[in-house]
């Protein structure tokens, strides 16, 4: 799977982690991948307590959350070949660090991660049209990897437009859109949230799933996702 989202901070890591966890629970060897991670300065090793800085987050960088969810023993470098301190678009973070993200290196790293694994769960960076390098978008990487696409999106106001734009951007590049996941899906959804789910499914002609609020600090407590419906005969 390649997990993208309608933008940044919409739940990509949570959705990717839940998928990885479910597959690992089924006994599969799961590898995880994140082409580039930025904002590592927000998680200083011995600075202020990250828990205080991110009261609602998983308190750990994406590659660490993904590794734990998958039960993987991959190293940081194997999961995320490019890692930067500032929280900004990866193409800019690379430029300010005096380098450039190399698409070939990303493909080689993803393929090395998938080697020997039963499943690869990749998380994008921001949304589909975020540049990884000048002229090379997250979407280009998703196309090159050829994995089914999952779109994480918010359940609330504004999500219809963001999600349909993402679906259009995905389909226009020929990506195989597996599902949209609305996250975190409230225990008692409002009429707007229920309607958003139906509207996205109808207008986007896409499978729409929901992910309940998870305790991000305790992956062991997460419920397994239900299996996909059997293919039509």
Ligand X SMILES: Nc1ncnc2c1ncn2[C@@H]1O[C@H](COP(=O)(O)OP(=O)(O)OP(=O)(O)O)[C@@H](O)[C@H]1O
Smallest distance, ligand X to C-beta of residue 82, A = 14
Question: Any bridge partners for residue 82, and if so which?
Answer: 36
Smallest distance, Mg ion to C-beta of residue 62, A = 4
Q: Which of 186, 224, 233, 222 is nearest to 58 (CA)?
A: 222
Query: Binding Mg ion by CB under 5 A: which of 62, 140, 193, 209?
Result: 62
Q: Which residues contact 95 (CB under 8 A, 6 or more apart)?
A: none
Stretch that binds Mg ion, among 62-70, 107-115, 149-157, 202-210 (CB under 5 A): 62-70
Residue 11 partner contact from ligand X, Mg ion, none using kind-dependent CB cut-offs of 5 to 8 Å: ligand X
Which CB, 215 or 232, lies closer to ligand X?
A: 215
Smallest distance, Mg ion to C-beta of residue 3, A = 9
Which CB, 8 or 199, lies closer to ligand X?
A: 8
Cα gap 109→144, rounded to integer Å: 13
* Binding interface with ligand X (CB under 6 A): 5, 8-14, 56-58, 62, 126, 152, 183-184, 211, 213-214, 216
Which CB, 8 or 233, lies closer to ligand X?
A: 8
Site string for Mg ion, 13-52 (x = CB under 5 A): x---------------------------------------
End-to-end CA gap in the chain = 24
How many Å separate Cα 47 from the centre of its chain? Answer: 27
Cα gap 131→136, rounded to integer Å: 6
Cα gap 83→34, rounded to integer Å: 10
Tally of CB atoms within 10 A around 41: 11
Which CB, 51 or 202, lies closer to ligand X?
A: 51
The catalytic position among 12, 21, 34, 67 is 34
Catalytic residue status for 12: no
Backbone phi, then psi, for 93, in 5-degree steps? -60, -40
State the residues that interact with Mg ion by CB under 5 A. 12-13, 62
């Amino acid at each position: 799977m390649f997990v993208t989202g309608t933008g940044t901070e919409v739940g990509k890591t949570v959705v990717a982690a839940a998928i990885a966890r479910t597959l690992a629970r089924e006994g599969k060897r799961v590898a995880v991948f994140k082409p580039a991670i930025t904002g590592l300065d927000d998680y200083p090793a011995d600075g202020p307590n990250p828990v205080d800085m991110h009261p609602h987050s998983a308190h750990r960088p994406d590659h660490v959350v993904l590794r734990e969810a998958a039960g993987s023993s991959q190293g940081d470098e194997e999961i995320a070949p490019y890692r930067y301190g500032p929280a900004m678009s990866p193409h800019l973070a690379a430029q300010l660090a005096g380098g450039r993200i190399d698409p070939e290196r990303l493909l080689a790293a993803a393929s090395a991660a998938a080697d020997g694994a039963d499943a690869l769960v990749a998380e994008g960076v921001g949304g589909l049209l975020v540049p990884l390098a000048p002229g090379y978008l997250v979407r280009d990487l998703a196309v090159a990897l050829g994995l089914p696409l999952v779109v994480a999106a918010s359940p609330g106001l504004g999500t219809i437009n963001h999600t349909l734009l993402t679906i259009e951007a995905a389909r226009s590049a020929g990506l195989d859109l597996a599902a949209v996941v609305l996250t975190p899906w409230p225990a008692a959804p409002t009429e707007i949230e229920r309607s958003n789910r139906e509207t996205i499914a109808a207008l986007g002609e896409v499978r729409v799933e929901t992910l309940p609020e998870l305790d991000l600090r305790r992956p062991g407590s997460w419920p397994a996702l239900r299996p996909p419906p059997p293919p039509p005969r």
